[in-house]
Amino acid sequence: MGEISVSKGSLDRLLTDSTSTCGSSFQQAFADLARTHRGRPAAEIRPLLARAAQQGSLGFSSADLWEQARAISGGAPYVLRVTVT
């Protein structure tokens, strides 16, 4: 399970919100990768997740990104604990 803290004003960069004007959220990027990259090596998925996190100015740790990549690769559920500040 991963953890991240985001400000209330940045929540739409993490979670999909139909009223947002920020573009694609990290949640959407994760879902897209989970759909298209299942079974692919985690080493191929991790840089794509890192780019999505960077575009959203989200501070995921390297360990969290690897855990997410392995979950996508293996088709496993991934739990993220979000703290809104």
Residue 84 confidence (pLDDT) above 80 = yes
Domain assignment of residue 23, yes or no: no
Domain assignment of residue 33, yes or no: yes
Residue 30 to residue 53: CA distance in whole angstroms: 10
Domain assignment of residue 65, yes or no: yes
Residue 16 to residue 57: CA distance in whole angstroms: 15
The whole domain housing 47 covers: 2-10+28-84
Domain assignment of residue 64, yes or no: yes
**pLDDT number for residue 22:** 63
The C-alpha R_g of the chain, in whole angstroms, comes to 12
Domain assignment of residue 21, yes or no: no
Note the Cα 16 to chain centre separation in Å. Answer: 11
The mean of the pLDDT values for the chain is 90
For 20-45, write each residue's pLDDT tens digit: 666 688 999 999 999 999 999 999 99
Q: What is the pTM of this model?
A: 0.87
Counted domains in the chain? 1
Domain assignment of residue 18, yes or no: no
